[in-house]
Amino acid sequence: MADLCIICSKQLSDGDIVQVDRGLQTLIKASIERGDGKDAPMMNVSSIKVHVNCRIVSSITAFKRKRENEGATSSPPKSRVRTTFYFKKLCFICGLEADVVKEKKSKNVRDLISCVSTINFKDNILELPDKKGDDVLKTVKKRISFEIDLVAAEARYHQKCFRKLHNPGTGEKKSRPQNNIDAAMENVFSYIENHEDCQFTLSELKQTLTDYKPDDKTIKIKLEEKYSDRIVITAKIPGPTMYYFFPRPSL
């Protein structure tokens, strides 16, 4: 099975292949949407190799089926023209360069760029209420709606842009507490997963947050929910609480 594409069941050598790690959950969801039973073997692995074309077709087919199941709208949908956006190098909010490599080399802009690391990130953005005159949010929603999996696309954003997206003006009401927590933890997750070290202090993680800061207990709970046994938390008395993160091994 290791030499076969789990989607088409053909030899991996028959075409270009890609190793799916961060987008694995999307493949599983796509399989469940199709009802082909191929999701089971993917449940117990951290990454998998498939044909590039199979991955694309699989995701698109599942997406279309989901839309069909949701039912047609009362009015015919407007035709949309897809434009290519380079999520891997540009901030998906402002459209300007967001190069993590350059950011790591420059201490002046350290931690200003984050990568999307959770599947529900896209839905959280799409669920933000539209505000009159907020053309930026409309553009962002349109831009990400064409991309099925922002995690797999390695989408990134400037933290400053992300904060403005949630709170565009001083006169606007602040977003719900849960949205604030989700936005804050996205920054923490991105910092951990894109950092060369695997050992962090709570104080260090909180320094990545420049706007809303969840309490220590909430941060601990969210980290354990996301990483489970991949993160170990140790409390030293006297001394800071240490967080040890273990990345998923590559196949």
Q: What is the pLDDT of residues 33-47, one digit of tens each?
A: 778 888 888 888 888
Q: Would you say residue 236 has pLDDT above 80?
A: no
**Radius of gyration of the chain from its Cα atoms, rounded to whole angstroms:** 20
Percent of the chain with pLDDT over 70: 72
Q: For 178-245, CATH number?
A: 1.10.10
Neighbours of 96 (CB within 10 A): 10
CB 165 within 8 A of CB 136: yes
More confident residue, 233 or 144: 144
Rounded to two decimals, the pTM is 0.42
Angle between helices 52-69 and 24-34 (to 10 degrees): 50
Model pLDDT for residues 169-178, shown as the tens digit of each residue: 544 444 456 6
More confident residue, 68 or 76: 68
Q: What is the pLDDT of residue 56?
A: 72
Stretch 72-89: mean pLDDT: 62
CB 31 within 8 A of CB 42: yes
Stretch 137-163: mean pLDDT: 87
Model pLDDT for residues 84-127, shown as the tens digit of each residue: 788 888 899 988 888 766 655 554 444 478 888 887 888 888 88
Residue ranges, comma separated, of all CATH 1.10.10 domains in the chain are: 178-245
The amino acid at 157: Y
Alpha carbon distance 114, 158 (integer Å): 6
62, with CB counted inside 10 A (0-12, 13-18, 19+), is: buried
Q: What is the pLDDT of residue 92?
A: 92
More confident residue, 173 or 22: 22
Of 199, 209, 210, 211, which is closest to residue 240 (Cα–Cα)? 199
